[in-house]
Structure 1
Amino acid sequence: MINLFRVKAKQRENAENLNGKTNVKKQTAGELRLHKDISELNLPKSCTISFPSGKDDLMNFEVTIRPDEGYYLGGTFVFTFQVPSVYPYEPPKVKCKTKVYHPNIDLEGNVCLNILREDWKPVLNVNTVIYGLYHLFTQPNYEDPLNHDAAAVLRDNPKMFESNVRRAIAGGYVGQTFFPRCVS
């Protein structure tokens, strides 16, 4: 019986030798799935995606969110995405590059979003994560905080929270912490 896989591999090797190519990079399953996810993106108008390393590096990209409602209206927030090669079986690693006063984002940029942790499932995709991040800005959640101080202020004094957010995105201090301006 002929082993078709061996025959196909030999044909591919011969073709590569004829064309002078010796190292053809094969896409991983994660890259193929991510390519599909990105081609099917349906982002809110206030969100954009960019590839700082170029289109050849789909596994690392940035998403910019400009909330059009809520406490963070007018701010611009940039997130980095690092997608593991085993995607979609593991979620992307997401960090906020913009220092922000937010109950679900700490001052180092770590993001508290359930679908990036325990609730991740392979049926979820990049589009779902971006909508989740957008939702954090329109509906911050004080019940699952990374920034406990911001969460307590949101829970106990929403007017003070709004004032703190305005001060932070305009470029100013909230307590002892300085926030660079991120208003468009």
Structure 2
Amino acid sequence: MENTIVMCCIWFQCAYIPTQLKQTRRMRQKMLNLIKIKDKKKEQAASAAGKAPVKKQSAGELRLHKDISELNLPKSTSISFPNGKDDLMNFEIIVRPDEGYYLGGTFVFTFQVSPSYPHEPPKVKCKTKVYHPNIDLEGNVCLNILREDWKPVLNINTVIYGLNLLFTQPNDEDPLNHEAAAVLRDNPKMFEANVKRAMAGGYVGQHYFPRCA
């Protein structure tokens, strides 16, 4: 009889332990499910409140933000953000030369800044078709600080002053538009006439230039 009671107790304990483990696992799973549901509700509430996840700024964006906040633009230059000020990495610079061959013209440049800035220079193109020895008809700009002379210590302000200098002192020694460079070098008066014709909206040789003055 005693042996029977002992065997029954042993069997009961062996049967009870797996049952207890199953119950513990079920409780844990329920808790995990509750946590997931709570987290999902929090996400839905944040979405309903219109809160977007905060995007971490790159080192390039932080540096660019600093450069733009410290801009000291020439009076002939302005800046605009076509995509809004939330997109600082893409903006436009408008140059209105107040002296030289291009006096009275309006020239728009697009700036596309890489997250690697200032270790890489900004990509700059001229949206305005212009008769210029250092800007080709596709808008590519020949400016040494945008190429081999770029250094991380330079900034957007430096590039803007360089663009202004292209209009007050066009250079025939390192041209992109070789035809315009040759005319500037050999016949400055004809070059001046060609610039005025292009800015007023007309043909120079076989190329038409929309009005920009």
Q: d(CA) in 1 for partners of 2:98 and 2:171?
A: 18
- 2:113 is the counterpart of 1:83: yes
Aligned equivalent of 2:150, options 100, 120, 124: 120
Name the residue aligned to 1:4.
none
Q: CA RMSD in A?
A: 1.5
Measured after TM superposition, the shift of residue 22 of structure 1 is 7.5
- 1:78-117 superposed matches below 5 A: 78-117=108-147
Tell me which amino acid in the other structure corresponds to 1:110: N
Q: Which aligned runs of 4 or more in structure 1 are off by greater than 2 angstroms? A: 17-23
Supply the distance in 2 between the matched residues of 1:118 and 1:43 (Cα, whole angstroms).
24
Which of 34, 48, 61 is the equivalent residue of 2:78? 48
Q: Which residue of 2 aligns with 1:9?
A: none
In structure 2, the CA distance between the partners of 1:94 and 1:22, relative to structure 1 (3 Å rule), is closer
For residue 24 of structure 1, report the CA deviation from its aligned partner: 1.6
**What is the CA–CA distance in structure 1 between the aligned matches of 2:89 and 2:133, rounded to whole Å?**
28
Distance in 1 separating the partners of 2:141 and 2:52: 42
Structure 1 residue ranges without an equivalent (≥5) = 1-16
Normalised by the length of structure 2, the TM-score is: 0.76
Structure 2 counterpart of 1:59: 89
TM-score normalized with structure 1 length? 0.88
Deviations 1:82-122 (A, max 9, x none): 00000000000000000000000000000000000000000
Distance 1:49 1:147 in 2: 26
Question: Number of residue pairs matched?
Answer: 168
Distance in 2 (CA, whole Å) between partners of 1:33 and 1:181 is 36
Structure 1 residue 147, shift from structure 2 partner: 0.2
Which structure's CA Rg is the greater one?
A: 2
Q: Which has the higher contact order (CA 8 A, sep 6+)?
A: 1
